[in-house]
Amino acid sequence: MSTLFVRTLREDPADAEVASHKLLVRAGYIRRAAPGIYSWLPLGLRVLGKVEGIIREEMAAIGSQEVHFPALLPREPYEATGRWTEYGDGIFRLKDRKGDDYLLGPTHEEMFTLLVKDLYGSYKDLPLSIYQIQTKYRDEARPRAGLLRGREFIMKDSYSFDVTDEGLEKSYAAHRAAYVKIFDRLGFEYVIVSAHSGAMGGSASEEFLAKTDVGEDTYVECKACGYAANVEAVHVPVPEALPYDDAPAAHAEDTPDTPTIDTLVAHLNAHFPREDRQWTGADTLKNVLGVVTYPDGRQERLAIGVPGDREVDAKRLEAALYPGEFEPMDEATLKSHPDLVRGYIGPEVLGEESKTGIRYLVDPRVVEGSRWVSGANVAGQHSIDLVAGRDFSADGVIEAAEVRPGDPCPNGDGELTAARGMEMGHVFALGRKFADALDLKVLDENGKLVTVTMGSYGVGVTRAVAAVAEYNNDDLGLAWPRNVAPYDIHLVATGKDSAVFEAAAKLAEELEAAGIDVLYDDRPKVSPGVKFKDAELIGVPTIVTVGKGLVEGKVEVKDRHSGERTEVALADAVGHLT
Ligand code: ATP
Ligand code: MG
Ligand code: MG
Ligand code: MG
């Protein structure tokens, strides 16, 4: 500890709301570099390494091989699949000195597809499963909660390549099973929710949601049979006919005139008071489409969410919101207009508070078909994935949720109740969308070229570190489970007696020799109180103290989780602790 690069803090960081964020910063695991961007200190890296280790073991167990792609990626492959534009404000774009476009990878379907196309050409080469543990970049609308939603974060992303649909089914099942093992080993309480709609035609997508109130997903579950589904994201295929090519290249700038969900809600309460309660951002919204003319003559097409469960005069509402004239317009007319559509949505259908108040810009092609428009209303923050995230990669479009809390369970008599979760992993049977777009074909048994079918599977690695911390802490600090703890034993030497320090140093050496990782607090001038506080805060599962008891040849062993203390003879300590 006297040389370890760490500074513990007594105060919570001002910007931290959730326990994992507060404690990981206070205990010296991470430091904020910019919003949603963190530096990792030695303690943090050790935990990260352990979590990655668990993931690597389970990936190896299903025969997936590790590769590593760059984070700095060329525009062309993303152009070919339409995602360069579709990501909207959700990705970081940059130019090189020649003016060529690059992006920082938010997810790597394109690159994996092209690599396999580059090297493989026959059905004999497949099936193949490859993965990487890599830094991803997404310009999230609301980075929050420390590592839980970052703009730079680490993901384990795997991709499977098969010739047949049955092959894909097997690859998908293998990944799903591996994820069950990973999340069991990380000690999560989680639920696997279906995130797909019947309309998807055979492809499947499921999310692993850690049950936690700090999560941003809402799902419904049936206590009777275990059925669970995410109410926020239901994916349907992107219609082939969308006019991708003539879509506008850039998204409109936000203007200060643009009301947020908060101003919308404030106006609702001021102009359309409800009798039963206040409006919140969580009220179901439906879009009113139209054109606003600003005082300076500028016009803008809008899709504006208004509460769907009450009669609200949209024109009056928009007049209250905009310093201009709002002309509602039917969808077909609006769609035919080449300009961007500007939209606002509520954060979600359910829940009590407006947490995110996301506003988004979409271009007209995603308004194609009323589906998306209604989906955006219900999908809440997940419609951001539409434009910004990996969710888009699979099926592109989010449809209105098919299930709501209070609905009967599709399997029987049970009732669906709502709960909160945080998406830890996602398994996707992509099908042939990416292989089609990037022309990944192999020769089949008859020498005929066939398109490969793919799956894509993600685990949030840095999010997992935060989630483990979220589940394992108390008033004193972190309390890591043994398999991801930065060290096995935190050894504290107290007092000024040099015999104590000598005995502790020797014990540390012997434990290390026995294969135990020891964090030895050898700081000579730090009080026992401070040392104990630091040990509790850092959260190593076993705290061993060499101090006053040494005169009787005893050391104290404390379990960080239970608080239970035992006296052990120094001579037996190594045996006791290994
Ligand atoms: P979310 O719904 O939370 O935004 P996502 O659906 O956009 O996540 P995917 O594209 O499915 O995420 O990526 C795979 C995994 O990466 C997710 O299951 C999640 O664990 C993790 N992840 C996604 N976005 C972030 C982020 N901003 N910060 C940390 N981890 C993330
Ligand atoms: Mg997302
Ligand atoms: Mg996802
Ligand atoms: Mg998601």
CA-CA distance, 96 to 352, in Å (whole number)?
46
Instruction: Give per-residue pLDDT as tens, 532-576.
Output: 999 999 999 999 999 999 999 999 999 999 999 999 999 998 998
CA dihedral of 372, 139, 340, 326, whole degrees rounded to 10: 80
Q: What is the mean pLDDT of the chain?
A: 77
For residue 90, pLDDT over 60 is answered with yes
Specify the pLDDT at position 421.
86
Task: Calculate mean pLDDT across residues 329-354.
Answer: 40
Structure tokens at 543: 């705290």
Task: Calculate mean pLDDT across residues 476-498.
Answer: 95
Instruction: Give per-residue pLDDT as tens, 210-223.
Output: 998 887 777 778 88
Residue with CA closest to ligand 1 atom 28: 149
Q: Name the closest ligand to CA 107.
A: 1
Angle, helices 461-471 vs 42-61, to 10°: value is 110
Residue with CA closest to ligand 1 atom 1: 423
Confidence of residue 495 (pLDDT cuts 50, 70, 90): confident
- How far is ligand 3, taken at its centre, from the CA of residue 341, in Å? 25
- How far is ligand 2, taken at its centre, from the CA of residue 90, in Å? 9
Confidence of residue 490 (pLDDT cuts 50, 70, 90): very high
Instruction: Give per-residue pLDDT as tens, 229-251.
Output: 776 543 333 322 222 222 222 22
The more confidently predicted of residues 134 and 280 is 134
- How far is ligand 3, taken at its centre, from the CA of residue 544, in Å? 42
Choice from 40, 381, 385, 426 to test ligand 1 binding pocket (greatest atom count within 8 A of CB): 426
Instruction: Give per-residue pLDDT as tens, 13-57.
Output: 887 889 999 999 999 999 999 999 999 999 999 999 999 999 999
How many CA atoms, within 13 angstroms, populate the side-chain half-sphere of residue 266? 8
Q: Name the closest ligand to CA 458.
A: 1
- How far is ligand 2, taken at its centre, from the CA of residue 391, in Å? 7
Query: Is 570 strand, coil or helix?
Result: helix
Q: With CA atoms as reference, report the closest residue to 544 among 497, 514, 578.
A: 578
- Ligand 1 atom at shortest distance from the alpha carbon of 157: 14
CA-CA distance, 397 to 238, in Å (whole number)?
6
Residues with CB under 5 A from ligand 2 (ion): 385, 389
- How far is ligand 3, taken at its centre, from the CA of residue 451, in Å? 25
Instruction: Give per-residue pLDDT as tens, 186-195.
Output: 999 998 887 6
539: DSSP letter: T
pTM here is 0.73
Specify the pLDDT at position 288.
53
Instruction: Give per-residue pLDDT as tens, 353-404.
Output: 223 333 333 332 333 222 222 222 222 222 322 722 222 222 233 333 456 6
CA-CA distance, 539 to 560, in Å (whole number)?
7
Q: Name the closest ligand to CA 38.
A: 1
Residue with CA closest to ligand 1 atom 21: 460
Distances (CA, A) of 226 to 6, 143, 207, 414, 421: 44, 32, 15, 10, 15
Specify the pLDDT at position 491.
97
Residue with CA closest to ligand 1 atom 7: 389
Q: Name the closest ligand to CA 188.
A: 1
- Ligand 1 atom at shortest distance from the alpha carbon of 216: 3
Choice from 176, 235, 423 to test ligand 1 binding pocket (greatest atom count within 8 A of CB): 423
Q: With CA atoms as reference, report the closest residue to 207 among 169, 245, 174, 234.
A: 234
Structure tokens at 169: 């089914």
Enumerate residues lining ligand 1, CB below 6 A: 107, 138, 140, 149-150, 153, 155, 385, 389-391, 423-426, 458, 460, 462-463
- Ligand 1 atom at shortest distance from the alpha carbon of 140: 27
Q: What is the ipTM of this complex?
A: 0.99
- Ligand 1 atom at shortest distance from the alpha carbon of 460: 20
Specify the pLDDT at position 228.
78
